[in-house]
Amino acid sequence: MSKPQRDRESKMGFEMRVYGWIAIAISIAICLCPCLSLEETNGERCNLYEGTWVYDESYPLYDSSTCPHIRLEYDCLKYGRVDKEYLKYRWKPSTCDLPRFDGQSFLTKLKGKQIMFIGDSVSLNQWQSLICLLHSAVPKANIIQQGGDPITNYTFKDYGVSVIVYHSTYLVDIEGEKIGRVLKLDSIKSGNLWKQMDVLVFNTWLWWYRSGPRQPWDYIQIGDKIVKDMDRMEAFRTGLTTWANWVNKEVDTSKTKVLFQGISPMHYNGTQWNEPGVTNCAKETTPIDGTSSSQGLPPASYVLQSVLQKVTKPIEFLNITALSELRKDGHPSSHNGFHGMDCTHWCVAGVPDTWNELLYASISE
């Protein structure tokens, strides 16, 4: 070996040792300070919603058959789903790692507090996943259950943490009156209870286009004006704006952390994943290839994002739309207790666990 080459190699060896030490020092720093993992090397905040799904043998985070009272809508394995790859995907943000869900740490951080999911059955879906995640972390913990409509309240007694779901299809009110059921786009009467919570996670979308027998109202009211129907996207925007004004006026965000969940995507149109003609998710066993940024967003997303900009208080957007769009494989399809074709909700365990990991990251900050 010539001398210059030896010199070069010993210099490289030295550099590798130095870099090795730096790498070890950085790993230690990251291990000691989990908050660091959400930051990119240049100190900017990592966009947790920009990334891809990666196969990970260590998933799912729990065995759904051990989860208490898992609802028949979401219990895909029990109702005959045989492919299991859909359980094995972890969400990987492009420039950092999403912290793995730690149920004990979640309960400790929220000690003495109440977290409430408010919205339609997608909120129920996420609540169910969170109950399973927490139960699997502390399987012996005492859970007090209070059921009923509109509130289901599971309290982890040893931690004093209540995990609650409040069923509200539109967030704004529907009231029975002489003329029939009236959807009141400018009224939120349940807000007085909601604002007493410590963490609120809102969601609404599924019901805004329902019509015919599945439509749960007869008239729409805005102020003194009552109409039989109106442009549904405008109705959605008006209802959400009422919600935004309610947050601005009523919620003390120094006490209550407010999150709004992005639109949960459905998979009934194969054009979305280059299989035009396919009309449901029944045969889907793997995610769509690609990144969240390659996904087009549904029109309602733009309405939602523009209304959220009217909120003057600090709130957080749980931007799950694009990352969930990639998961055509995440729905129950016919593997649910009512045997209908469901490409709207999500299997538990499954995609909502990732939503809760994102929620966990947000609460951990």
Q: Which residues are catalytic?
A: 121, 342, 345
> Omega before 322 cis (within 30°)?
no
Given candidates 169, 319, 333, 336, which one binds ligand NAG under the rule CB under 6 A? 319
Does 241 engage in binding with ligand NAG (CB under 6 A)? no
Tokens 């601005």, residue? 248
Tokens 């809508």, residue? 73
User: How far is the C-alpha of 268 from the C-alpha of 284, rounded, in Å?
Assistant: 11
Neighbouring residues of 330: CB distance < 8 A, sequence distance ≥ 6:
86, 287, 324, 346, 347, 350, 351
User: How far is the C-alpha of 238 from the C-alpha of 255, rounded, in Å?
Assistant: 27
Does 317 engage in binding with ligand NAG (CB under 6 A)? yes
Specify the stretch interacting with ligand NAG by CB under 6 A; choose among 4-12, 35-43, 149-157, 226-234: 149-157
Q: Which residues, 92 to 121, sit near ligand NAG by CB under 6 A?
A: 114
For residue 8, the minimal CB distance to ligand NAG (Å) is 44
Does 22 engage in binding with ligand NAG (CB under 6 A)? no
Given candidates 322, 326, 359, 361, which one binds ligand NAG under the rule CB under 6 A? 322
CB–CB of 85/285 below 8 Å? yes
User: How far is the C-alpha of 23 from the C-alpha of 73, rounded, in Å?
Assistant: 46
User: How far is the C-alpha of 255 from the C-alpha of 247, rounded, in Å?
Assistant: 13
Does 49 engage in binding with ligand NAG (CB under 6 A)? yes
Specify the stretch interacting with ligand NAG by CB under 6 A; choose among 33-41, 89-97, 100-108, 314-322: 314-322
Does 219 engage in binding with ligand NAG (CB under 6 A)? no
Does 315 engage in binding with ligand NAG (CB under 6 A)? no
Q: For ligand NAG, give the closer residue by CB, 211 or 271.
A: 271
Q: For ligand NAG, give the closer residue by CB, 50 or 102.
A: 50
Neighbouring residues of 1: CB distance < 8 A, sequence distance ≥ 6:
9
Q: Which residues, 158 to 217, sit near ligand NAG by CB under 6 A?
A: 162, 164
Given candidates 269, 334, 362, 364, which one binds ligand NAG under the rule CB under 6 A? 269
Does 142 engage in binding with ligand NAG (CB under 6 A)? no
Q: For ligand NAG, give the closer residue by CB, 270 or 337.
A: 270
Q: For ligand NAG, give the closer residue by CB, 30 or 193.
A: 193
Specify the stretch interacting with ligand NAG by CB under 6 A; choose among 4-12, 74-82, 133-141, 315-323: 315-323
Given candidates 52, 126, 264, 292, which one binds ligand NAG under the rule CB under 6 A? 292
Beta bridge partners of 342: 333
For residue 190, the minimal CB distance to ligand NAG (Å) is 11
For residue 96, the minimal CB distance to ligand NAG (Å) is 15
Length of the chain: 365
For residue 297, the minimal CB distance to ligand NAG (Å) is 6
Total residues in contact with ligand NAG, by rule CB under 6 A:
18
Does 89 engage in binding with ligand NAG (CB under 6 A)? no
Which positions lie near ligand NAG, rule CB under 6 A? 49-50, 114, 144, 146, 151, 153, 155, 162, 164, 269, 271, 292-293, 305, 317, 319, 322
